[in-house]
């Protein structure tokens, strides 16, 4: 008897409320993860490596919690037969958001493992790329939250995601050109190494844009 | 009641079954097709409210229909109802849009032609007039309702998950209203022709009197309930996939506006109130539920800026206006001939 009762929309319980809280918590974890990236890279560029390592470990914990929460939300959406019309879209959204957090964690991990030597003259570019990347993800989570509550506002946030992603691309290119034009960096391997890190960081913004593309379609579908 | 009486009622029961199988699906199609409401809950709500609507408020539209032509023998009513039901079934089979209202009107006119009874042109124009007003009214109500719902949703900023919960609630209420209105308005198509020749007598139980006509409507309601239980799931699944492209909330707008149209043309209370206020009232006649629904879908499309307006739907309405009554009238005429000359039954007096 229970499944049918539940299928009536959980009318008599506050299960929907707790699911909302879980979703909000998930989006907060994405925000937290990317803010840790911001702080971590900032400290790395200031040569405060111990503090950076601390952030790197923290982001592991956040990513792990987000993974657990995502699986839980996915399970509940199906087992409690919620939002059948937009369930597929919501799950797609959660999965791709997970890629953003995964990439964020990997950037930190790679910095921690490979410890790239960043010459002084490109540190400012790295700092800027870091800031812009973080902004694109923070704007994305605003768009995602809007999708659940004020779908008609999604577009204005998505426009900003696209803007920051484009900025990240420009900085990445500028940085790579500077690296390969520089005489200060002698070894090709060092240049390639720096190019790799610029690319890794900018990929987080690319992932944010991928989610934004999906979200714009989901939002159109949800528009009355 | 004689066995022959029951036998002759069978075509009405068949018509009721068909109403339950097809039209009830229009009400809960979106909800069940997308699994927002389980079929069993939908079927129970549908059966209960269709029967309630039929018993409480079904007589008004039936009277409007009877002015078109009072079929005066049970065998005649059997043929009229059977011809209408067969037309509905046949047109559904070949995939043509069909409405029980247009079928029964065509069949009654067929009986009038066969029996040489005059067709009351005022009653006919009143009914045919509603075929035009029905979809237009549906479109207007849906248009306004769409803006109201959208404004409210923008103001309250409900979370998608909570909105889902409210949507299910709304689907249940809209479905119950839709079922009630369908019973009140369209049950006339099912048992209306049997009213003048009803085989039921009034009976009193614990001080409550149930008239013969109410019993007739109850039987029609039960036949419809059987239609809902046995066949509507398939239709709901098809409609769910088709109509649901609208999004659940717009589907509710369509259901409510369709139900309102049917209700307006069935409520005696509302008619009396409007008359007493000196306002123009709605004639109590059966209107086509599927066409009111098509009108409502068009209303929603227009509210969205007309970009998704599907003109094929308009063509469906026109086909329904002409093809269904003509087919039912011809079929009825031929069947009456056979009933009278092969089965030796009195089909008119």
Q: How many CB atoms within 10 Å of residue B85? A: 26
pLDDT score recorded for residue B237: 75
| Pairwise CA distance, residues A72 & A33, whole Å | 19
| Pairwise CA distance, residues B283 & B270, whole Å | 11
Residue A4 pLDDT > 50: no
pLDDT score recorded for residue B241: 62
Q: Phi/psi of residue B209, each to 5°? A: -100, 130
* Interface list for B 283-342 with A (CB within 8 A): 304
From B225's Cα to the closest Cα of chain A, the distance in A is 21
Least reliable range by pLDDT among A9-13, A148-152, B114-118, B226-230: A9-13
List b or e across A59-89, with b for residues whose CB sees 16 or more CB atoms inside 10 angstroms: bbebbeebeebbeebeebbeebbbbbbbeeb
Residue B349 pLDDT > 90: no
- Residue spans of alpha helices (H) in chain B: 3-18, 24-33, 39-57, 59-66, 74-93, 100-115, 121-156, 160-191, 212-243, 248-264, 268-276, 289-303, 311-341
| Pairwise CA distance, residues B267 & B259, whole Å | 12
From B258's Cα to the closest Cα of chain A, the distance in A is 18
| pLDDT, averaged across chain B | 87
Candidate from A19, A152, A221 with C-beta closest to B161: A19
Residue B1 pLDDT > 70: no
Question: Which residues touch B241 (CB under 8 Å, ≥6 apart)?
Answer: B33
| Pairwise CA distance, residues A209 & B290, whole Å | 44
B119 touches chain A (CB under 8 A): no
Give the burial class of B213: count Cβ atoms within 10 A of its Cβ; 0-12 exposed, 13-18 middle, 19 or more buried: buried
B2 vs B92, higher pLDDT: B92
Report domain extents, chain B: 3-341
Residue located via tokens 């009229």: B80
Give Cα A92 to chain centroid, integer Å: 14
Residue B121 pLDDT > 70: yes
Residue A3 pLDDT > 70: no
Task: Please indicate whether, in this complex, the C-beta atoms of B35 and A9 are within 8 angstroms of each other.
Answer: no
| pLDDT, averaged across chain A | 91
State the DSSP H helix or E strand holding residue B205, giving kind and residue range, or none if neither. Answer: strand B203-205
What residue ranges define each of the domains in chain A, with the CATH number in brackets?
Answer: 2-222 (1.20.58.220)
Q: What mean pLDDT do residues A63-79 have? A: 92
Q: What mean pLDDT do residues B118-137 have? A: 88
Residue B228 pLDDT > 60: yes
Q: What mean pLDDT do residues B125-153 have? A: 92
- Residue spans of alpha helices (H) in chain A: 2-7, 15-45, 49-79, 87-114, 123-149, 154-181, 188-222
The DSSP call for residue B97 is -
Q: pLDDT per residue over A187-215, tens digit each?
A: 999 999 999 999 999 999 999 999 999 99
ipTM score of complex: 0.79
| Pairwise CA distance, residues B34 & B20, whole Å | 20
Q: How many CB atoms within 10 Å of residue B73? A: 18
Give the burial class of A153: count Cβ atoms within 10 A of its Cβ; 0-12 exposed, 13-18 middle, 19 or more buried: middle
List b or e across B159-170, with b for residues whose CB sees 16 or more CB atoms inside 10 angstroms: bbbbbbbbbbeb
Which of A4, A8, A9 has the most B C-beta neighbours within 10 Å, making it the best mutation to test the interface with B? A9
Total number of residues shown for chain B: 349
Percent of chain A with pLDDT over 90: 78
Q: What mean pLDDT do residues B123-137 have? A: 89
Q: pLDDT per residue over B37-63, tens digit each?
A: 889 999 999 999 999 999 888 888 888
| Pairwise CA distance, residues A162 & A185, whole Å | 33
| Residues in chain B within 8 Å Cβ distance of A11 | 165, 168-169
Give the burial class of A186: count Cβ atoms within 10 A of its Cβ; 0-12 exposed, 13-18 middle, 19 or more buried: exposed
| Pairwise CA distance, residues B83 & B91, whole Å | 12
From B150's Cα to the closest Cα of chain A, the distance in A is 7
Confidence of residue A153 (pLDDT cuts 50, 70, 90): very high
Q: What mean pLDDT do residues A52-71 have? A: 96
Residue located via tokens 């018993």: B55
Q: What mean pLDDT do residues B227-231 have? A: 89
Distances from the Cα of A43 to the Cαs of A34, A54, A59, A108, in angstroms?
14, 10, 14, 12
DSSP per-residue string spanning A87-137: HHHHHHHHHHHHHHHHHHHHHHHHHHHH-----GGGHHHHHHHHHHHHHHH
Candidate from A7, A20, A90 with C-beta closest to B38: A7
pLDDT score recorded for residue A10: 47
Confidence of residue A9 (pLDDT cuts 50, 70, 90): very low
Which of B153, B159, B161 has the most A C-beta neighbours within 10 Å, making it the best mutation to test the interface with A? B161
pLDDT score recorded for residue B244: 52
Distances from the Cα of B205 to the Cαs of A53, A72, B70, B208, B211, in angstroms?
85, 57, 30, 5, 11
B317 vs B153, higher pLDDT: B153
Residue A8 pLDDT > 70: no
Least reliable range by pLDDT among A1-15, A102-116, B309-323: A1-15
Residue B308 pLDDT > 70: no
**Angle CA(B111)–CA(B113)–CA(B114) in degrees, nearest 5?**
65
Q: Phi/psi of residue B210, each to 5°? A: -115, 120
């Amino acid at each position: 008897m229970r499944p049918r009762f539940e299928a009536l929309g959980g009318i008599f319980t506050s299960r929907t409320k707790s699911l909302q809280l879980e979703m909000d918590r998930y989006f907060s974890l994405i925000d937290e993860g990317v803010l840790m990236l911001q702080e971590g890279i900032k400290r790395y560029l200031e040569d405060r490596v111990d503090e950076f390592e601390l952030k790197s470990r923290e982001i592991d914990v956040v990513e792990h919690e987000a993974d657990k929460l995502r699986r839980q939300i996915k399970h509940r959406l199906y087992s409690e037969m919620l939002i059948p019309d937009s369930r597929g879209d919501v799950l797609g959204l959660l999965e791709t958001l997970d890629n953003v957090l995964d990439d964020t964690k990997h950037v930190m991990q790679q910095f921690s493992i490979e410890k790239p030597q960043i010459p002084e003259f490109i540190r400012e570019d790295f700092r800027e790329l870091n800031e812009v990347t973080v902004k694109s993800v923070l704007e994305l989570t605003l768009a995602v939250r809007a999708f659940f509550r004020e779908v008609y506002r999604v577009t204005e946030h998505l426009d900003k995601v696209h803007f920051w992603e484009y900025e990240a691309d420009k900085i990445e290119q500028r940085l790579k050109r500077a690296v390969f034009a520089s005489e200060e960096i002698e070894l090709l391997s060092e240049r390639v190494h720096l190019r790799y890190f610029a690319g890794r960081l900018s990929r987080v913004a690319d992932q944010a844009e991928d989610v934004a593309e999906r979200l714009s379609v989901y939002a159109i579908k949800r528009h009355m | 009641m004689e066995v022959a009486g029951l036998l002759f009622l069978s075509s009405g029961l068949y018509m009721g079954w068909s109403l339950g199988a097809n039209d009830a699906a229009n009400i809960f199609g979106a909800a069940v097709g997308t699994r927002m409401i389980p079929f069993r809950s939908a079927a129970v709500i549908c059966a209960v409210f269709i029967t309630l609507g039929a018993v409480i408020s079904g007589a008004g539209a039936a009277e409007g229909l009877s002015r078109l032509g009072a079929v005066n023998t049970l065998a005649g009513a059997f043929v009229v109802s059977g011809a209408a039901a067969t037309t509905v079934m046949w047109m559904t089979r070949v995939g043509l849009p069909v409405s029980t209202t247009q079928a029964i009107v065509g069949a009654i006119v067929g009986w009038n032609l066969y029996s040489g009874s005059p067709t009351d042109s005022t009653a006919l124009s009143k009914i045919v007039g509603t075929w035009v007003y029905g979809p237009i009214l549906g479109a207007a109500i849906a248009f306004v309702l769409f803006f109201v719902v959208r404004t409210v949703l923008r103001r309250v900023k409900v979370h998608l998950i909570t909105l889902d919960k409210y949507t299910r609630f709304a689907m249940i209420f809209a479905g119950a209203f839709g079922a009630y209105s369908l019973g009140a308005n369209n049950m006339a198509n099912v048992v209306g022709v049997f009213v003048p020749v009803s085989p039921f007598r009034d009976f009193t139980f614990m001080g409550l009197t149930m008239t013969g006509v109410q019993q007739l409507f109850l039987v029609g309601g039960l036949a419809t309930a059987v239609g809902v239980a046995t066949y509507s799931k398939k239709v709901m699944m098809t409609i769910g996939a088709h109509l649901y492209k609208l999004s659940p909330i717009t589907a509710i707008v369509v259901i409510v506006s369709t139900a309102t149209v049917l209700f307006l043309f069935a409520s005696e209370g509302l008619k009396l109130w409007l008359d007493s206020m000196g306002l123009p009232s709605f004639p109590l006649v059966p209107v086509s539920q599927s066409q009111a629904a098509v009108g409502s879908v068009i209303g929603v499309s227009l509210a969205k800026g007309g970009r998704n307006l599907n003109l094929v739907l308009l063509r469906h309405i026109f086909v329904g206006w002409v093809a269904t009554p003509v087919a039912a009238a011809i079929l009825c005429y031929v069947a009456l001939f056979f009933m009278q000359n092969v089965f030796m039954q009195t089909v008119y007096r």
